[in-house]
């Protein structure tokens, strides 16, 4: 039997998780041996009592972690950045647990450098393996293999959105047979076949091997929804609901949690409410800040301070109370870029602002004026990446003008942010400018990943080198 055909069979699909786990363990142990070889030059060191024990413990902990977090759950619409984010989180947690085990067992022969080499290689190879595996799955699905046959119930905006999404990419592996509704509304699904009224659904399930049914009916049609659930269970069809939450919120994501057996809907998913994600972000903030402070501040700060002092009278640093996480205020540090004035806490800088000094204009254009905020990051008031903190006066002003303005304060403010690298920085001349900034900030809160932070940092550095037109 050809491999592709075998791979597409239901029997083989059941064992995909086992196959991935075995591949992971193979990669894990090969890289462990390579790290031993690199460090000691002799692969026989693997039989050292401590190294061998840690290897056994590492394998067991890896199996437990990937099982607990269901790391091999292959979601058909999962994007590569989501897959990489999940992989990095599990590996990071594994590193923390192993480091704790080494300390607890008082092992002294475990090389820290070897662990760095091992985890560095393991992250790279694991990501390559998962991306390759996901791309192969998408490839065979785009060629009609391992596809799911689905029907849609309801003709409305929600069902129209889900049909467009499922059919937008062949690699998702969905084939839509058509839609049902008591009222023929082809304008909603002019690209889909109308299959009939609700009473004809059972006949369709009998004749076709339907895998999934997407129900986009209003909650008021509870009797019809109950009937559909019974039908799906009778014919072994997986049922999925597509409620139109846009009716209640503009949020692009919602999250459903369970308090025992009670479903609780939250208007948005916030990855940074996860303790593991917060720890990962915090560790990165501290390490990155220390790196900048030790390697850059020691030589750059004295130069900038002298230039600021020569440019105008006043202190080198500018302190301003701003709105932070949960709308708690904190003192934000910056290099002073303006002449000392009484309106600095109320009036935004504008293009050609006479208050800005010559060196101040350069620092604003290159973002160098924000560098002292790494001290804010180090003490936990700010993050390297997050929504930019605003003056208290602006927070008060825009809270009354923009309904969801304060949502951006669910996250720790950052030195740079998603809104800034997308061009929304500097003066907000019109209300729409701030509305777009808030929109990008909320998107960041709902879609945070560690890789997204790295991307924003890279774009910020690139913009610093190029210089930004709105930085004045």
Q: DSSP assignment of 156-184, as one string?
A: SHHHHHHHHHHTS-GGG-EEEEEEE-SS-
Q: What is the rounded distance in angstroms from the CA atom of residue 111 to the CA atom of residue 126? A: 22
Give the domain 148-248 fold: Rossmann fold (3.40.50)
Chain region(s) in the chain for CATH 3.40.50.720: 148-248
Tell me, what's the pLDDT at 350? 66
Check residue 265 and report its DSSP letter: E
Residues of the chain with pLDDT under 50: 1-12
Q: Which of 445, 451, 439 is closest to 413 using CA atoms?
A: 445
**What pairing do the DSSP bridges indicate for beta strands 194-196 and 255-259?**
unpaired
Tell me, what's the pLDDT at 118? 93
Q: 């609901």: which residue's tokens?
A: 241
Q: 């002799």: which residue's tokens?
A: 42
Summarised one tens digit per residue, pLDDT across range 94-132 is 999 999 999 999 898 888 888 989 999 999 999 999 888
- Number of neighbours of residue 355 by Cβ within 10 angstroms: 16
Which distant-in-sequence residues (6+ apart) come within 8 Å of 79 by Cβ?
A: none
Q: 């190029």: which residue's tokens?
A: 466
Helices (H), 41-149: 49-68, 80-104, 112-142
Q: Which of 36, 24, 86, 30 is closest to 61 using CA atoms?
A: 24
Which distant-in-sequence residues (6+ apart) come within 8 Å of 411 by Cβ?
A: 272, 325, 383, 386, 387, 441, 444, 445, 448
Q: Which of 129, 162, 104 is closest to 20 using CA atoms?
A: 129
Q: What is the rounded distance in angstroms from the CA atom of residue 238 to the CA atom of residue 210? A: 9
Quick one: tokens of 373? 């905020």
Q: What is the rounded distance in angstroms from the CA atom of residue 121 to the CA atom of residue 139? A: 27
Tell me, what's the pLDDT at 292? 92
Q: 């399930």: which residue's tokens?
A: 205
3-state helix, strand, coil in the chain (%, to 5): 55, 10, 30
Q: Are 338 and 320 within 8 A, CB to CB?
A: no
Tell me, what's the pLDDT at 9? 44
Q: What is the rounded distance in angstroms from the CA atom of residue 71 to the CA atom of residue 69? A: 5
């Amino acid at each position: 039997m050809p491999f592709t055909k075998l791979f597409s069979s239901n029997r083989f699909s059941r064992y995909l998780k086992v196959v991935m786990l075995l591949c992971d363990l193979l990669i894990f142990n090969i890289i462990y041996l390579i790290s031993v070889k690199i460090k000691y030059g002799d692969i026989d060191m693997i039989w050292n009592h401590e190294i061998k024990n840690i290897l056994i413990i590492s394998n067991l902990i890896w199996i437990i972690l990937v099982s607990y977090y269901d790391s091999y759950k292959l979601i058909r619409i999962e994007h590569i950045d989501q897959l990489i984010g999940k992989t990095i989180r599990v590996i990071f947690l594994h590193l923390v647990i192993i480091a704790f085990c080494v300390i607890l067992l008082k092992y002294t022969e475990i090389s820290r450098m070897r662990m760095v080499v091992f985890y560095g290689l393991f992250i790279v190879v694991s990501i390559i393996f998962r991306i390759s595996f996901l791309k192969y799955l998408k490839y065979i699905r785009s060629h009609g293999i391992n596809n799911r046959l689905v029907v849609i119930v309801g003709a409305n905006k929600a069902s129209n959105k889900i049909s467009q999404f499922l059919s937008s990419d062949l690699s998702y592996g969905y084939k839509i047979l058509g839609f049902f509704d008591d009222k023929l509304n082809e304008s909603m699904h002019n690209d889909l076949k109308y299959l009939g009224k609700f009473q004809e659904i059972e006949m369709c399930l009998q004749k076709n091997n339907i895998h999934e049914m997407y129900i986009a009916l209003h909650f008021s049609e509870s009797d019809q929804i109950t009937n559909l659930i019974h039908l799906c269970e009778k014919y072994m069809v997986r049922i999925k609901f597509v409620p139109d939450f846009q009716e209640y919120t503009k949020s692009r994501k919602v999250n459903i949690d369970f308090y025992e057996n009670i479903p609780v809907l939250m208007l948005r998913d916030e990855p940074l409410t996860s303790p593991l994600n917060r720890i990962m972000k915090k560790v990165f903030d501290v390490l990155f800040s220390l790196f900048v402070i030790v390697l850059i501040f020691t030589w750059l700060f004295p130069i900038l301070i002298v230039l600021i002092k020569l440019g105008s009278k006043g202190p080198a640093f500018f302190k301003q109370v701003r709105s932070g996480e949960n709308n708690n205020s904190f003192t934000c540090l910056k290099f002073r870029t303006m002449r000392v004035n009484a309106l600095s806490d109320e009036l935004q800088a504008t293009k050609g602002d006479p208050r800005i000094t010559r060196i101040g204009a350069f620092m604003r254009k290159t973002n160098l004026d924000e560098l002292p905020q790494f001290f804010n990051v180090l003490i936990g008031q700010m993050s390297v990446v997050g929504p930019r903190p605003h003056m208290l006066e602006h927070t008060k002003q825009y809270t009354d003008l923009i309904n969801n303005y304060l949502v951006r304060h669910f996250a720790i403010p950052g030195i740079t942010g998603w809104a800034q690298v997308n061009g929304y920085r500097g003066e907000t001349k019109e209300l729409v400018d701030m509305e777009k900034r808030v929109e990008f900030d909320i998107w960041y809160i709902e879609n945070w990943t560690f890789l997204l932070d790295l991307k924003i940092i890279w774009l910020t550095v690139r913009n610093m080198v190029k210089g930004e037109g709105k930085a004045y």
